[in-house]
Each structure stands twice: as C-alpha cells, then as structure tokens.
C-alpha cells in the first residue's frame, strides 16, 4: 500500500521540528558514492536538510577513488588495521584525489541542487590541525599492545569550529576532505571516520551519521545489529567479527559520544535517500552506537 503523500509530509513534521537548527555531521563514505544516481540523491538530501533548517556538515572519504589512481600508477594500496598505509607518494595522491576531484564533485552536485556548498580540506583556515597517529594493536589481551606505524597518517589535534559554524550560519554547507596539516605545515592523511568524529565532537553536533556500503554493523552470523555499546564493540573487534574499515568507524563513533555528540548512527548510503528516511520517517534503519547498553535515546 502506497502511503498518501500528505501523510508522509505530516509524518515528517515532528522530525523537522525536532531537528530544526541542529548541526548534523554526515560522513559520506567513498563506497557510498559509486554511482551518479546515488551522488545526486545524496546532494539532494543534504540540500533539502539545509533548506528546512538543519545544519548539515559533510565529511567525505574516497577510498575506492584513491585506489583507482594508485592502481593506475602501479602502487598497491596497503592497510594497517583499517587505516591506509601512507608513504609520501600515496599522500600526494590522497591529497589530489580527496581535496580535488572528490571534494569538488560533491560541492558541485550540492550547488546544482540549489544548495550553497563550500569545499575545504583541513588546510583551509587551519581547519584540521593534526599530528602523526600511532596505532595501538592488541589482538591478545594477555600480551602488551603492539604499536603499528601507518606512515603519514594523522590524528586530529584541533578543529577550527569557528570556520565551520560561521559558514553554516551564513547558509553554506561545508564539505570537508580528510586531509590535515601538521605544526610544521606537513600534510597528513586522516581517516575520514576520525575526522567526522572529531568535527562532530568539537561542534557538539546533535547527530553523527556514517553513510557506508553495508546496512550497519553485522554480527558473526551476518545479522544486522540495531544497537551496539562500547563493551560489545571491544569484544567484537577482539573476536574478529568487526574488521577492516568497520574498526575505526566504531571506535571513533564511541569517541564522538564521549565528546558530547548526542547520537551516532551507521546507515547504508548505497540505499537511495537513506538519510531522509532515517531522519524524517518513523522507520529507524542501520545501527545506533551507544556508550553503554540502555543509554540510547
């Protein structure tokens, strides 16, 4: 049965009222920007959010797009616990692809939909200050953790929230590429999930939404986990049920909650209009990440 269009709009009203004026950080994963239709839908959803009074801030990835260029150059991508190993040559490609092609294509798409979007990398206005990231890896809790070196991979030390807030307040939609700048002006590749988490935490945003290429977190049997807390995440990483890119996503989701973000969700960005359905309808989708069981709102 197709619901009446008016009913759908009425159903959205309480949500629109609730979200009005709220800052929301949306992490747009590289795997969720594969086809033109999805990219256009995303741009439309973000533009619509802005026009009805929300303040979306987009942080994007671009893993598959980076891999394509690296492959053309004969470089095989390497990953350390879900993080891209980044030597100088890879860093150059990451900066060109993320800050150039991917960032500008998202900006152009939003502007085509009538939104006013501004693309930034972490270098613009000192948006993302960074330092080298050390990755702690402890597969066995009875052994001391190993420290893994992912190369020119950074962690965010500070976010210029004033730049983002003033753009948002002026009606712009900031679109951020996850490239950071070190104290000596060096360039760092930063995992986009981490950037989204830190931007959301610094802005004390009401929502952090990760748009990825799966329905959410899956358990060992492949079933969707609708809500997950910190102890369960630790356990699932240890067992190997959570691997690859899902590791940083969940760890940084938990950090965001600790830094004052109200609610973090992981949803499937390869499903058309996933954002709108999640925000403005009664159907909850994907996985909600909570600090402790029972604390979800």
Q: Which residues bind Mg ion (CB under 5 A)?
A: 245
Q: Which two tokens stand for residue 70?
A: 């690296």
Interaction pattern, residues 188-227, with ligand ADP; x per rule: CB under 6 A: -----x------------------xxx--xx---------
Cβ closer to Mg ion: 82 or 201? 82
Q: How far is CA 127 from CA 79, 133, 204, in A?
A: 26, 18, 16
In the complex, minimum distance from the CB of residue 224 to ligand ADP, in angstroms, rounded to a whole number: 9
Residue 269: phi and psi, rounded to 5, are -80, -5
Ranked by CB distance to ligand ADP, the top (closest) residue is: 245
Mutual angle of helices 246-258 and 230-239, in 10-degree steps: 160
In the complex, minimum distance from the CB of residue 63 to Mg ion, in angstroms, rounded to a whole number: 6
Centre a 10 Å sphere on the Cβ of residue 220 and count the other Cβ atoms it contains. 10
29 binds ligand ADP (CB under 6 A): yes
232 binds ligand ADP (CB under 6 A): no
In the complex, minimum distance from the CB of residue 66 to ligand ADP, in angstroms, rounded to a whole number: 11
Cβ closer to Mg ion: 54 or 66? 66
Cβ closer to ligand ADP: 167 or 289? 289
Q: Which does 30 bind (CB under 5 to 8 A by kind): ligand ADP, Mg ion, none?
A: ligand ADP
34 binds ligand ADP (CB under 6 A): no
Interaction pattern, residues 49-68, with ligand ADP; x per rule: CB under 6 A: ------------x-x-----
39 binds ligand ADP (CB under 6 A): no
Interaction pattern, residues 109-148, with ligand ADP; x per rule: CB under 6 A: ----------------------------------------
Q: Which stretch binds ligand ADP (CB under 6 A): 39-47, 153-161, 236-244, 270-278?
A: 236-244
Q: Which does 160 bind (CB under 5 to 8 A by kind): Mg ion, ligand ADP, none?
A: none
Of 192, 219, 213, which Cα lies nearest the Cα of 268? Answer: 213
Q: Which stretch binds ligand ADP (CB under 6 A): 2-10, 119-127, 242-250, 251-259?
A: 242-250
| Cross-sheet strand order for the sheet of 128-132 | 154-159, 128-132, 179-181, 187-189
30 binds ligand ADP (CB under 6 A): yes
What span, in angstroms and rounded, lies between the C-alpha atoms of 169 and 174?
11
For ligand ADP, the binding residues (CB under 6 A) are 29-31, 61, 63, 193, 212-214, 217-218, 241-246
């Amino acid at each position: 049965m197709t619901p009446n269009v008016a009913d759908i709009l009425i159903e959205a009203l309480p949500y629109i009222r609730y979200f009005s004026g709220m800052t929301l950080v949306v992490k747009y994963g590289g795997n969720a920007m594969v086809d033109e239709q999805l990219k256009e839908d995303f741009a439309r959803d973000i533009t619509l959010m802005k026009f009805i009074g929300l303040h979306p801030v987009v942080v994007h990835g671009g893993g598959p797009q980076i891999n394509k260029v690296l492959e053309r150059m004969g470089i095989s991508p390497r990953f350390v616990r879900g993080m891209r190993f980044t030597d100088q040559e890879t860093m150059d490609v990451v900066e060109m692809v993320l800050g150039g092609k991917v960032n500008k294509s998202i900006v152009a798409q939003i502007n085509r939909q009538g939104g006013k979007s501004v693309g930034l990398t972490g270098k613009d206005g000192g948006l993302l200050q960074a330092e080298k990231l050390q990755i702690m890896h402890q597969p066995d809790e009875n052994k001391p953790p190993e420290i893994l070196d992912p190369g020119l991979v950074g962690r965010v030390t500070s976010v210029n929230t004033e730049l983002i807030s003033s753009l948002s307040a002026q009606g712009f939609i900031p679109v951020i590429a996850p490239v950071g700048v070190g104290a000596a002006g060096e360039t760092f590749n930063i995992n986009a999930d981490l950037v989204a988490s830190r931007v959301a935490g610094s802005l004390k945003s009401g929502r952090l939404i990760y748009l990825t290429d799966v329905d959410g977190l899956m358990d060992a049997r492949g079933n969707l986990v609708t809500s997950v807390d910190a102890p369960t995440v630790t356990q699932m990483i240890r067992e190997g049920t959570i691997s690859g890119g899902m590791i940083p996503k969940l760890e940084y989701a938990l950090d965001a909650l600790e830094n004052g973000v109200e609610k973090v969700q992981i949803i499937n960005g390869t499903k058309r209009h996933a954002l709108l359905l999640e925000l403005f309808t009664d159907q909850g989708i994907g996985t909600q990440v909570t600090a402790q069981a029972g604390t979800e709102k």
